[in-house]
Amino acid sequence: MIDARAIAAALGGQVAGINTILCPGPGHSPRDRSLAVQITPNAPDGFLVFSHAGDDWRKCRDYVRQRLGLPAWQPGDGRQRRVPDQYVAKWDLSAIESEMEDIPPPWTEDELARIAGAQRLWNESVDPRGTLAETYLRERRRLDLPDDLAGTALRFHAKCPWRVENTGTTIRVPALVVPFRSIGDDAITAIHRIALNPDGSKLGRRMLGIVRHAAVKLDPATDELVIGEGIETTLAARQLGFKPAWALGSVGAISFFPIIDRVKRLTILGEAGEVSAKAIKICGKRWHGKARRRVRVVMPNEGCSDLNDVLIAKRAEL
């Protein structure tokens, strides 16, 4: 079987579930996570693809084969490589159901090392109040820095390691750091780093550790829960009154968000575009259609990409 971590590295993505990778689709930006690749040994290519952005599955298949160094598909090569359209159309739901039912395997040594590295940087980080992290949140994103989140869900690292992709060297930068905690037991398994320039503007953002089955838990879940993609979007929603809230880190994670027994109503924070709409549809079908939970969707105002844009616009009017 092809190794999921090796595929994720080759595709510039991340392992998002058992034998499942989320990565940039063909022609998309490196930060995109609209393409889902599921390792399926009995599939003609050894994997199945599904695009949350609506890209043609054939183009995605060929793109993955090229990135993995596999020979280009040729018709009449002795194998029936074409997966029927109706099967591809259902892949996302069947794969997610399988993922939710599978028992996650024990962490590998590599995964444990990545988790330990994330925990170390989190432990080195400090209360963000009065730091460049607060400047970024308040001045650049128009977000409050609540006392109940300072130090517990939001921290500042003055000299966070940051790899320069062009040179391969590692530098130290100031960064806002937030922890991803296991959905099951709250253990920190990853961190999200927002690297900052000296003026408080964003230099870049990256994750470190394992984000599978994890979330940035801004609040303890009750019988209600609000989930969003980015930390800024979810902080904005919380500021607008939508809580308790969790940030999941990617649109793909919304698709894969598991059913939580104690949560009876789920609110999904939507963003502009087809990718978000597809993820909401997939998540909503499982939560409402299968688990019979109440689901509502909160969308940004027209002309805004997410709720943080809505909040910035409201502050600009004051």
Residues 6 or more apart in contact with residue 11 via CB below 8 angstroms: 21, 23, 24, 35, 37, 64, 67, 68
Confidence (pTM): 0.73
**pLDDT tens-digit map of 254-281:** 888 999 999 999 999 999 988 888 889 8
- Distance in angstroms (rounded) separating the CA atoms of residues 236 and 233: 5
Q: Please give the domain boundaries of the chain with CATH numbers for all domains.
A: 4-101 (no CATH), 108-213 (no CATH), 218-318 (3.40.1360.10)
Cβ atoms of 166 and 197 within 8 Å: the answer is: no
| 3-class secondary-structure state, position 243 | coil
Q: Name the pairing type of β-strands 294-298 and 265-269.
A: parallel
Q: What is the largest CA-CA distance in the chain?
A: 67
Alpha helix ranges (H) inside the chain: 4-11, 57-67, 85-101, 109-124, 132-135, 231-239, 251-255, 274-284, 307-317
pLDDT at 2: 59
**Share of the chain residues as helix, strand and coil, in percent rounded to the nearest 5:** 30, 25, 40
Task: Report pLDDT for 237.
Answer: 96
Question: CB of 287 within 8 A of CB of 259?
Answer: yes
Give yes or no for a cis peptide into 244 (omega within 30° of 0): yes
Range list of H helices, 197-267 = 231-239, 251-255
DSSP structure class, residue 264: -
Query: Would you tell me the crossing angle of helices 307-317 and 231-239 to the nearest 10 degrees?
Result: 50
Cβ(279)–Cβ(257) below 8 Å:
no
**CB-based contact 40:61 (threshold 8 Å):** no
Sole residue written with tokens 């062009």: 166
Q: Within 182-242, where are the H helices?
A: 231-239
Using an 8 Å Cβ cutoff, are 176 and 201 in contact? Answer: no
Rounded-to-integer distance, Cα 314 and Cα 318, Å: 7
Classified as helix, coil or strand, 20 is strand
With both helix axes pointing from N to C terminus, report the angle between 85-101 and 274-284 in degrees, rounded to the nearest 10.
60
| 3-state class (DSSP) for residue 226 | strand
Below-70 pLDDT ranges, the chain:
1-2, 17, 42, 44, 54, 71-105, 318
Q: Could you tell me the two tokens for 20?
A: 């499942």
Number of Cβ atoms within 10 Å of the Cβ of 54: 11
Contact 282, 90 (CB under 8 A): no
The C-alpha atoms of residue 207 and residue 156 are separated, in whole angstroms, by 15
CA distance 214 to 122: 15
